[in-house]
Amino acid sequence: MIFFHIFLTVLSFVSFVIIFKFFKIRSKYGHLPGPKSNGLIEFFFGQYFDIYKFLSENNFIEDLQLIWSKKFGSIYVYQFFHQMICITSDEDIIKKILIEKDLPKKPEIYNIVGYPFGERFLGSGLVSEINKEKWRARRALFNHGFKKNSLLQSIEEFNAKGNKLIQKLNLIAESKKSIYMFDEFNRMALDAIAKIAFDLELDSIGNQESELNSFITYGLHGLTLKMTDPLSEIRPSNKKLIKEIKQSIRNLRKFSAEQLRNIIEKFEEDSPISNTIFSNILRHAKSTDDMDFEIMIDDFITFFIAGQETTANALSFCILELGQNERVLKKLKSEIEEILGCKNNISNEDISKLNYTAAVFKESLRKWPPVAAFSRFNPEEIEFGGKLIPKNTWFYVSPFVMSQSEKYFPRPDEFIPERFISSEPFAKENKITSYTYFPFSIGPRNCIGQNFAILEGKLILAKFIQHFDFTLDPYQSLKVVERTTLRPIDGVKVYLNPKI
């Protein structure tokens, strides 16, 4: 009996401490607008159940944040368990967060990216490294790999991968079968990174059962699961899936380690190694011995994770939008016909003339930014527009929420590439600056691969339109979901009709 009393006393004390802590945290945010937590359950869980219900209906979190933005204004907070999350759609605040204050990445989030379900995935790769000093040294080294000049030389490889994709699509088109464009772009993007970054010929375009592709897909699924549902690990229904995810991540690391050993061996033997992103990085490193092998694996995986699905989704959204916008498609076709005609290889000079194609790609990244949000926090209290934000607030910086703001992008729901063409009258109605439009993020931790992605995106889109007419399968859902990156839920199912 005495033990029971002790147990009850300890339980009451712990409950009191937790309630007091929650109460103290929440009271600091009373002056900021946002959805309020009502009742005992929401006192502890905040908006978790609203979010869970919204996501289980095949929506994505940033769409809910957008609904709240319209209701609560350009800066507001909501509660997610014990965390207070701040969303802003104000360009001055974005500038402060990402550039002037250069707020640090939120460790809890980037640790999930590094180690979902305790398994080393992106580890301390360039995206998930949160120690600023370590990151700065590596970014300086990695910048050598992404120099614009060496990227321009990659145009041949992009053409080669693009031509291979077109060849495959032609075969499918002959059979009159429908095709999921996301899957095809995804394989192409994997092959392009493997070749241009590491001189690896994977041929996942030709191989439906690419193992690497499947390891990556499972890994990304793990990230989404862990990030969107902190209770995912304790749900019995997830047990099998989590086991498969962990095994896939282990397989991915094993595959990556083997590939890297070969690449480094070749490099150290001084055998003629091609001009890849990775070889340019190695050339500038003091010695390969100075580089931690496990971190090299982290970066190897990071390149694929950061660059494959993002680009594939950007291209898929282009097709999804073009399939619904006859006017835009017609204008795009006429530019491509005029500049490329039947050319098999697209040059850098051609690319620089494809202005409307570039605007279509930009508009797709605005309306559907594949990386819909990233996370920062303030180690100290901070003031934004006369409002004090308590320290340790989680800033959820969202290119999606921002690019849906009427204030900066009139008719945000519509797909209008002209907003990015300065000579067009509609462009002047928009307020496009680096702080309102940032699909690649801005500031020191912006995307190192953005020039790579833009070149690849424009070239592959142009090749696709040059070779095919297409129609969207009318029976697919046009909904969008988040699987780490934003993606069309049904993978953009199309019927192709070859032109050339």
Binding-site sequence positions: 447
Helix or strand (DSSP H, E) at 397: strand 394-397
Assigned token pair, 14: 């712990």
Inter-residue contact 495 to 488 (CB < 8 Å)? no
Phi, psi values for residue 345, rounded to 5°: -115, 125
Q: Among 429, 489, 424, 391, which residue's Cα sits nearest to residue 24? A: 391
Burial 50-65 (b: 16+ CB within 10 A, else e): bbeebbeeebbbbbbb
Phi, psi values for residue 332, rounded to 5°: -65, -45
Min dist. Cβ of residue 475 to ligand HEM (A): 28
**Residue among 89 and 310 whose Cβ is closer to ligand HEM:** 310
Assigned token pair, 264: 């480094």
Q: Among 296, 300, 442, which residue's Cα sits nearest to residue 371? A: 442
Taking CB atoms, the residue at the shortest distance from ligand HEM is: 449
- Known binding positions for heme: 447
**Residue among 320 and 453 whose Cβ is closer to ligand HEM:** 453
Residues near ligand HEM, by CB under 6 A: 126-127, 139, 193, 302-303, 306-307, 310-311, 314, 370-371, 374, 439-441, 445, 447-449, 452-453
Min dist. Cβ of residue 402 to ligand HEM (A): 12
Min dist. Cβ of residue 435 to ligand HEM (A): 14
Inter-residue contact 383 to 32 (CB < 8 Å)? no
**Residue among 127 and 340 whose Cβ is closer to ligand HEM:** 127
User: 10 Å Cβ neighbour count for 27?
Assistant: 10
Residue with tokens 């929420």, as numbered in its chain: 401
Min dist. Cβ of residue 157 to ligand HEM (A): 13
**Residue among 280 and 310 whose Cβ is closer to ligand HEM:** 310
Min dist. Cβ of residue 306 to ligand HEM (A): 3
**Residue among 85 and 173 whose Cβ is closer to ligand HEM:** 85
Min dist. Cβ of residue 257 to ligand HEM (A): 19
Residue with tokens 């289980």, as numbered in its chain: 56
**Residue among 256 and 310 whose Cβ is closer to ligand HEM:** 310
Inter-residue contact 268 to 288 (CB < 8 Å)? yes
Inter-residue contact 103 to 97 (CB < 8 Å)? yes
**Residue among 37 and 404 whose Cβ is closer to ligand HEM:** 404
CB contact set of 117 (below 8 Å; sequence gap of 6+): 222, 226, 233, 242, 245, 246
Q: Among 308, 313, 296, which residue's Cα sits nearest to residue 125? A: 296
Min dist. Cβ of residue 452 to ligand HEM (A): 4
- d(CA 69, CA 243) in angstroms, rounded, equals 37
**Residue among 97 and 494 whose Cβ is closer to ligand HEM:** 97
Min dist. Cβ of residue 111 to ligand HEM (A): 13
- d(CA 58, CA 347) in angstroms, rounded, equals 41
Nearest 5°: the CA angle 101, 369, 494 is 170
